[in-house]
A and B are shown apart, each in its own frame.
Chain A
């Protein structure tokens, strides 16, 4: 190895050591996180699994599910879940347009979660005031999570699917610091329910 080569190797070594010395300064300015931030919203059945999720429900019978949210946004987040109920003709949230359902909520849950933190709640519900009127059912009251709520939902008999269709769904909203308000987080989960006389 001649002197020129030795000088080059020595300079490279010194530069590497210099870069290592300067590295902590870059870490105080930059945060190396290339993970895509997201939130999870889920429903589980009464056995805490993706089975036995209520579908055929009777009037006044108690049904249980687990509702959960996970924060993977990389920072603390404030969530709001709106609980809504619809029949077959009423609107669902529009995921493509990022717009929530125009239906009035019957209940809401709020939670603040740190990054990687989860929230889960057992939600019990029952259709209390149900009237069968010919080919349609009218639900005027239901209990959800210990609250009695007055609703007025009519569902016509669906001869094809043989059911009185109702859907209990949960919309996830997130607090946005820029607007200082909650906005629809473009996520929802729902339970397709068939109101029956027999289980």
Chain B
């Protein structure tokens, strides 16, 4: 009686294990597809942030060549990831999305730092230009007055130096 009960327990345990393992196959696949999709979307979001930061840095005049190269590496990984996903290779897609995210890590921060440096440089350049222009205008103003004084004096000197010429009338 006890042996039969033990046997029944073992059989039900085995059945449970078999059922679980069968059940886990489709469940595992659907999670993998979902995971790969999520990983690609997440990589896409990271790419968007990184590219926006690099683009803004470039607009301020920062040298972003190295960052663009890194973004292009991430871009290729993302493309390959999507192609794998469309072909049903979710594992590769997931792995490529993860590598893409790793490649993108830090790019936005570096771009923001470059943008801040470029903005500072631009600001100081604008200030320097304004200061030199101001100095230039002051010099022009002073020299203009002095020059006008000299010019006026020479004009009058030339005017007073003129002698009337008497012409004989016919």
Contact = CB atoms under 8 A, between A and B. Distances in A.
Contacts of A181: 48
Interface stretch (B14-22, B31-39, B132-140): B132-140
A108 B83 contact: yes
A24 B59 CA distance: 19
Interface string A164-191: 0000000000010100110000000000
A147 B88 CA distance: 13
A22 B137 contact: yes
Interface string B71-102: 11001101100110011000000000000000
Given A14-B144, A107-B83, A76 B58 contact: yes
Interface residues of B, number: 37
Contact of B58 (A75, A105, A109, A175): A75
Chain B interface secondary structure, helix, strand, loop or mixed?
A: helix
Given A29-B126, A112-B71, 18 more contacts: A6-B155, A10-B151, A14-B140, A14-B144, A21-B136, A21-B140, A28-B122, A28-B126, A75-B59, A108-B83, A109-B79, A112-B54, A114-B65, A147-B87, A148-B87, A175-B48, A180-B48, A180-B52
A25 interface: yes
Nearest to B156: A3
Interface residues of A, number: 34
6 tightest CB-CB pairs across the interface, nearest first? A110-B75, A21-B136, A180-B48, A28-B126, A76-B58, A14-B144
Contacts of B52: 177, 180
A contact patch SS = mixed
Contacts of B151: 6, 10
Interface of A: 3, 6-7, 10, 14, 17-18, 21-22, 24-25, 28-29, 75-76, 78, 104-112, 114, 147-150, 175, 177, 180-181
A10 B68 contact: no
Interface string B51-67: 11011001100001100
